[in-house]
Amino acid sequence: MSDMQTTFVMVKPDGVQRGLVGEIIKRFERKGLKLVGLKSIIPSEELAEEHYGVHKERPFYNGLIGFITSGPVVAMAWSGIDAISVARIIIGATNGREAIPGTIRGDFGMDIGFNLIHGSDGEDTASSELALWFPEGTMEWNRDIEGWVYE
Ligand code: IDP
Ligand code: MG
């Protein structure tokens, strides 16, 4: 399946603290994904709990909520053909020590919890996460270079 999709991506507080926001955005931009939403916020506990609700029973859950609410994150929405899986490939495996070099976590991460970035893992999570983080909606715009990104 090759569908036009929008995915939710977030630079986590460790990525912001380490000054990797520009580096991370650059990778999505130069890949050919289209930016349709961007904002920096300090997530509330409520927002973090909603976002990571699926992990509620996991032993790392409380630490994860504390981490995500510890400072600014950069929330983004990126569009493109198969954008959800493309973003996950750019991001790399959850554990930075196992992530392949060339991926964001593989190039910059050494930890499983502090792994710099989040990306939606499927169509359902992408739409619920986009609704959660961008309740105002994302942008509709025509990119002039589109015809040079897709044949
Ligand atoms: P993902 O972000 O690669 O999709 P998930 O398994 O969905 O990984 O876990 C969500 C987030 O929870 C991870 O990105 C990471 O920050 C944190 N996490 C996952 N597993 C562990 C763990 O074993 N210890 C600490 N934190 C973890
Ligand atoms: Mg996940």
Residue range 35-88, pLDDT digits in tens: 999 999 999 999 999 999 999 999 999 999 999 999 999 999 999 999 999 999
In-domain check, residue 147: no
In-domain check, residue 40: yes
In-domain check, residue 15: yes
- With beta carbons less than 8 A apart as the criterion, state whether 87 and 78 touch: yes
Distance from the alpha carbon of residue 17 to the mean position of ligand 1, in angstroms: 19
Residues 141 and 19: their CA atoms lie apart, in Å, by 29
In-domain check, residue 150: no
- With beta carbons less than 8 A apart as the criterion, state whether 72 and 42 touch: yes
**Which ligand sits closest to the CA of 98?**
1
In-domain check, residue 145: no
Contacts of 134 (CB under 8 A, 6+ apart): 8, 37, 39, 75, 77
* pTM for this model (two decimals): 0.98
In-domain check, residue 151: no
Instruction: Say which CATH number the domain at 95 has.
Output: 3.30.70.141
Query: Which residues surround ligand 1 with Cβ inside 6 Å?
Result: 55, 60, 64, 94, 112-113, 115, 118, 121
Which residue range is the domain that position 33 belongs to? 4-139
In-domain check, residue 146: no
Distance from the alpha carbon of residue 121 to the mean position of ligand 2, in angstroms: 6
Phi, psi of 90, deg, nearest 5: -60, -35
Quote the number of domains for the chain: 1
User: What is the per-residue pLDDT across 12-31, written as a single tens digit (0 to 9) for each?
Assistant: 999 999 999 999 999 999 99
Token pair belonging to 80: 């493109």
